Amino acid sequence: MIPKIIFEQSIKRYFKCVAPFMDDESVSEIMINGPNDIWIEVAGKLQQTNAKFENADDLMGGVKNIAQYVGKTLNDLNPRMDARLPDGSRVHVVLPPCARNGVSVAIRRFGEFSLTMEKLMGYGSITAQAAEFINLCVHMEQNVIVAGGTGSGKTSLLNCVSTLIDPKERIIVIEDSTELQLQQPHVVMLEARGPDAKGRGKVEIGDLFRSAMRLRPDRIVIGEIRGGEALDLIQAMTSGHGGSMSTTHATYPDDTLRRLETMAMMSEVKMPLAALRSQVASAINIIIQTARFNDGSRKLTHIVECLGLDQAGEYVIHPLFEFKHQGQDPKTGKVMGELKAVGNLPTFLDNARSRNLHVDESWFRPL
């Protein structure tokens, strides 16, 4: 690994054409599709820029420096790399010939965390009633999955939901690359790592999860479930570690459960499908679905409760809130609509009342 100051100097030299975007807090992502095609994301919308690298060697030199800084191998035999810059930005690199346009880089930037439920309400992403219900779910130690597509704001939303956790609790955070910024005082951050140049030292999320179970967690938060570690999380959720949280890629709530089931099947532990499906249905209590709309805005689209399996062995979804479209503003192009209650009550309200938690059935009445 090279020293941080030398790395930052070399990156400024090689990546000087994108330096203005790196310094611009409004830019959330920088996409380099070869040396002559650079795009950025601002306020959820993509914009092509006029920036270009002087030559392909500068671009290659920059990504090689990133690899050297993080201690990873990037070459013809290892043409893909995940890395993290000193400012916390996440980087993914793909080399030719896998990347047909030339060296392809995506830099996801994370500013200082400041999102709150109040701000989400101000943006129109969530209603006060839905926010109150999510707060209730966290204090009831319901297992929560935040689901959505790429760029839909899953990580930011999970960050926001995590602020509702009691600061007295001990939280173990597990991530592939550090993105979450929990605000509580007692947080243990664990990060996976890839193998070195000789294939040694690999530590996967599943390995860290097993360590987390021995670190006396009150809550376990996984940045994103991508593979067989789903089974570890599901088994923890069903063995007394309530209040766990994570994110995953899925379009609709029922897709979320099926995707978790599929990823759990990637685990080295093999179990009958019926038993696996039963565990998934028992483990997940609440799914919060988020999406990015064509105007660049990010909004919650569904909040559902999971009620297990029906007699046919299919997942039972109990919808509580759904986003109702009301068209698009012809002047601004903004998507109009609101996350509204559908009229169903959660099944755990009596249990919440017995714990003297604030519950108002009016949250769930359609307006």
Domains, the chain, with CATH or none: 4-108 (3.30.450.90), 117-364 (3.40.50.300)
Q: Is 100 exposed, middle or buried (0-12, 13-18, 19+ CB in 10 A)?
A: exposed
pTM, 2 dp: 0.84
pLDDT computed for residue 217 by the predictor: 92
pLDDT computed for residue 198 by the predictor: 75
pLDDT computed for residue 112 by the predictor: 62
pLDDT computed for residue 175 by the predictor: 87
Q: How far apart are CA 271 and CA 212, in angstroms?
A: 23
**Spatial CB neighbours of 31, under 8 Å, sequence gap ≥ 6:** 38, 39, 40, 41, 46, 105, 106, 107
Q: How far apart are CA 3 and CA 197, in angstroms?
A: 19
Query: What are the mean pLDDT values of the chain's consecutive 10-residue runs (367 residues total)?
Result: 67 85 89 95 89 92 88 88 83 94 90 77 90 96 94 89 93 85 91 78 86 91 88 83 90 93 90 91 95 88 95 94 88 86 95 94 90
pLDDT computed for residue 341 by the predictor: 95
Structure tokens at 303: 């909040």
Q: Is the dihedral of CA 275, 281, 284, 290 positive or negative?
A: positive
pLDDT computed for residue 114 by the predictor: 67
